[in-house]
Copies of this chain bind each other. A is one copy, B any other.
């Protein structure tokens, strides 16, 4: 959950715990579907469990913040796949089917949908887990009931008709978690600062300035790692990188000579973040320029340096997508219908519109 613990102090649960939980739900859904007569072989069952256990293994410390700072635009899904392939060699190809399903190259489509879709075991676990650990009880989903109503039709995952209200509530709960937790403005500014402190550290290293860090972090500060040069050695070092490297790095930098590196580290570790505003529109250019110039002149910085503290961006969430891989209901009549179309009302259709918000971050006056 990135830096969400700054808002929800209980949110210290781990990706490892989530992986175990999602695997547990996978075991439940396999049991349920088999009970309903859906054939799932032992090999498929193992593959599903392996795939869900490893689906997030490519995440670096603090989740998404690193994908665009320490490494250059390498998605965690790509890295998860690299790990699976490495493990596949180690386990004599026993993960081949898991990888095929994970890549959606297996002909029984619903197996992939259990791992990645709008109603997969990943979401069923993380929504409930994050709701539990943050205490935002409105975000809780009834995973047992949703799983109990799953079925397979024409190789696609479907929800039995009577589950329609539970699916609606699931979509609303997820939407609530997005705006209330995952996209909480304090979490966003903290994540942006984290991303920027790492960018700055990398920048300084490449300017030849000494930036103390643990070995794994030092490697990624020194090296430009992209999709193209992400080899076995990079993967190995990446596997050693965790929150402790990033946190101990920032603690080291609290007294660093560089204003930007030092200030960003202080902001994060002392919980004294930038101001952040959420708006429907992007801020005006002049407004940004004024804020930037104020801070620049106040601390005698270059415009580039000041830009670490004054910035804006976009967050968005689509509660439900009707475009692809919809959640489908199996009606008593035998027909299969997109849940948004099966509803008595147009509320789910309304929720399929993407909502976009702009955030604007800038220093408090006394900085």
Contact = CB atoms under 8 A, between A and B. Distances in A.
Interface of A: 9-10, 12-14, 16-17, 20, 133, 137-138, 140, 142, 145, 165-166, 168-169, 172-173, 175-176, 179-180, 214-216, 240, 242-245, 247-248, 251-252, 319, 344-351, 353, 355
Given A166-B176, A345-B355, A347-B347, 14 more contacts: A9-B20, A10-B133, A138-B145, A165-B175, A165-B176, A168-B175, A168-B176, A169-B172, A169-B176, A172-B172, A242-B251, A244-B244, A244-B248, A345-B353
A208 to B, nearest CB: 22
Nearest to A351: B347
Contacts of A166: 138, 176
Contacts of A165: 138, 175-176, 179-180
Contacts of A344: 355
Identical subunits present = 4
7 tightest A-B CB contacts, nearest first: A244-B247, A346-B350, A347-B350, A12-B12, A248-B248, A165-B176, A347-B347
B214 A248 contact: yes
A349 B347 CA distance: 8
Contact of A10 (B13, B176, B216, B244): B13
Nearest to A20: B9
A10 B138 CA distance: 21
Contact of A214 (B145, B240, B251, B355): B251
A129 B161 CA distance: 26
Given A248-B244, A350-B347, A351-B347, A172 B168 contact: yes
Contacts of A172: 168-169, 172
A41 to B, nearest CB: 21
A220 B349 CA distance: 50
21 contacts: A9-B16, A9-B20, A10-B13, A10-B17, A10-B133, A12-B12, A12-B13, A137-B142, A165-B176, A165-B179, A166-B176, A168-B172, A168-B175, A169-B173, A214-B248, A243-B244, A244-B248, A244-B251, A345-B350, A345-B351, A346-B353
Contacts of A355: 344-345
Given A12-B12, A168-B176, A216 B251 contact: yes
